[in-house]
Amino acid sequence: MAIAAQFHRIARPDRREITCFIDGAPVAAFEGDTVLTAVLTQRRDLRRFEFSSATRSGFCLMGACQDCWVWTAEGARLRACSTLAADGLRIVTGLKAQDDGGQADV
């Protein structure tokens, strides 16, 4: 059984659709979406907590709490809540797709 997404769009934005990659999987997003929005419209959690097996989904949504750190495929760290998704952007969260319950290699 697939786990529902954390965020749900209530209207289709009047913005250009883009494709970014989350843990290797293509994800549709819209120009102006944050990385956090791109991820959480697809699945329930953003990443795994560094200090336990718990998952994180962002907390403050304004870049202060540091709960939304993810990485680019090149290894740069960024805040998902304040970084805009870009066409072709490749993000590594440390989580595999939620329906298999596994953890990705980072």
**Nearest-angstrom CA–CA distance, 36 and 42:** 10
Phi and psi angles of residue 38, each rounded to the nearest 5 degrees, phi first = -60, -40
pLDDT tens digit sequence for 32-51:
999 999 988 888 787 766 67
pTM of the predicted protein model: 0.77
User: Does any domain span residue 43?
Assistant: yes
pLDDT of 82 higher than 70: yes
Residue 99 within a domain:
no
CB 30 within 8 A of CB 16: yes
Summarize the confidence of residues 73-77 as an average pLDDT. 93
Residue 32's pLDDT is what? 93
What pLDDT, on a 0 to 100 scale, did the predictor assign at position 65?
77
Instruction: Let me know if residue 83 belongs to a domain.
Output: yes
How high is the mean pLDDT of the chain?
80
Overall domain count for the chain = 1
The one-letter amino acid code at 83 reads: T
Average pLDDT over residues 71-91: 94
What angle (nearest 5°) sits at the alpha carbon of residue 90, between those of residues 86 and 91? Answer: 105
Let me know if residue 6 belongs to a domain: no
How many CB atoms within 10 Å of residue 9?
11
CATH of the domain at 61: 3.10.20.740
Question: Whole domain around residue 79: which residue ranges?
Answer: 17-92
